[in-house]
Amino acid sequence: MRVFSGVQPSGDMHIGNYLGAFKQFVKLQYEADCVYCVVDMHSITLPKDPAELRQYILDIAAWYIACGLDTKGSILFAQSDVGAHAELAWVLTCSSYTGELSRMTQFKAKGKGAESVPAGIFTYPVLMAADILVYDTDVVPVGEDQRQHIELARDLAIRVNNRFGGGVFVVPEGRYVTEGARIMALDDPTVKMSKSAENEYSRISLLDDEGKIRKALSRATTDSDGEIRYDEEKKPGVSNLLNIYSVFSGKSIEELEKQYAGQGYGTFKNDLADLTIETLTPLREKYLEIRHSDELVGILLDGAERANAIAEKVLARVYDKFGLGVRKR
């Protein structure tokens, strides 16, 4: 089984990214043949500072490794270092319709009200389909918000297969993360924890020190009934903290409710802060070690070479079907 997923290069990773993405990806390395990509080409749909972008690529790569990815077994690389992504994206663009791309909720959200939007935002899902299809991917672990993009990748694979009587693409499946899937903002548990929120106490960043973690958790929004009980609707703040506690500790929510029955929010938050610090400290130490090592670029280049070997074969098959080029690939 082959697994593929990607994360956009950006700074300030938070515990939502860790629990909803990295931790899930790393778990899969023991079950499948994993290919993980820092999707830098996706992140230039809006202009990015070039120097910053390059640093962010390395940041994300270092987080994958810090979270436990073994890059000898799994492949880790930067998207733009493997040309086949862009090449296949063009072929798939020619197999897509403006209608289906206009219906993408992400495109509609970003283009709201504007007469004209950057074309990269429009074709973003086609490049994502190319990322997936160019590795004969079976399974794509992603957040629920990516469901529509995965469906497009499947539709394109099936469409091309039908046109050529089958055998061009593997039709991938999404695996939608459930555990820790939606970590909510600490100051407003009705919206998801996000790196772009203005209030820095709305999130716990993976690089936060002990003081910041304690402060963010002690300020976290709860309610006034004083009971540690899971009820997403009536007690969204406490439920979010219970969810975080549960995934960090491996204990079930029911177990935690029992453990904290009759105790105040103070003790609960304090214990959660201890647990968070205990969990994040080794991650942070590993991150700092790898991020500033000479090895990191070499790991990504080695990953790109191994990724390229797989992608070139799939691209050769596609070019052959479409009758493109005269060079023997």
Q: Is 20 in the site for ligand ATP (CB under 6 A)?
A: yes
183 binds, among ligand ATP, ligand LTN, none (CB under 5 to 8 A by kind): ligand ATP
Minimal distance in Å, beta carbon 256 to ligand LTN?
29
Size of the site for ligand ATP (CB under 6 A): 18
Q: In angstroms, what is the minimal distance from the CB of 270 to ligand ATP? A: 23
Backbone angles phi, psi at 147, to 5 degrees: -55, -45
Report if residue 192 touches ligand ATP, rule: CB under 6 A: yes
Here's the x/- map for ligand ATP, 117-156, by CB under 6 A: it reads as -------------------------xx-------------
CA distances (Å), origin 152, targets 111, 133, 160, 311: 19, 11, 12, 20
Q: How far apart are CA 97 and CA 160, in angstroms?
A: 13
Answer for the pair 71, 65: CB distance below 8 angstroms, yes or no: yes
Q: Least distance to ligand ATP from the beta carbon of 14, Å?
A: 6
Smallest CA-to-CA distance from 95 within 120, 130, 119, 121 is with 130
Closer by beta carbon to ligand ATP, 98 or else 196: 196
Among candidate residues 110, 251, 286, 313, the one labeled active-site is 110
Q: Which residue lies nearer to ligand ATP by CB, 71 or 205? A: 205
69 touches 26 (CB < 8 A): yes
**Contact string 168-187 vs ligand ATP (x = CB under 6 A):** -------------xxx----
Q: 217-234 burial by CB neighbour count: b if 16+ within 10 A, else e?
A: beebbbeeeebbebeeee
Q: Rounded to whole angstroms, how far apart are CA atoms 151 and 45?
A: 21
Select the binding partner of residue 6 from ligand ATP, ligand LTN, none (C-beta < 5 to 8 A, by kind). Answer: ligand LTN
Q: What is d(CA 170, CA 133) in angstroms, rounded to the nearest whole number?
A: 7
**Rounded least distance, CB 274 to ligand LTN, Å:** 31
The CB-of-234 to ligand LTN minimum distance in angstroms stands at 31
> Residue 23 catalytic?
no
Which pairs count as long-range contacts for 195-203, CB under 8 Å and 24+ apart, including other chains? 195/10, 195/11, 195/12, 195/13, 195/14, 195/17, 203/14, 203/15, 203/16
CA geometry: angle 212, 21, 142, nearest 5 deg: 145
- Asked whether position 198 contacts ligand ATP by CB under 6 A, the answer is no
Interface segment toward ligand ATP; rule CB under 6 A; list 6-14, 72-80, 232-240, 283-291: 6-14
**In 3-state terms, the chain is what percent helix, strand and coil (to 5)?**
55, 10, 35
Q: Which residues bind ligand LTN (CB under 6 A)?
A: 4-6, 8, 39, 42, 128, 131-132, 140, 142, 146, 149
Active site residue 195: yes
110 among known catalytic residues: yes
Q: Which amino acid would we find at residue 205?
A: S
Q: Which residues bind ligand ATP (CB under 6 A)?
A: 7-8, 10, 16-17, 19-21, 142-143, 181-183, 192-196
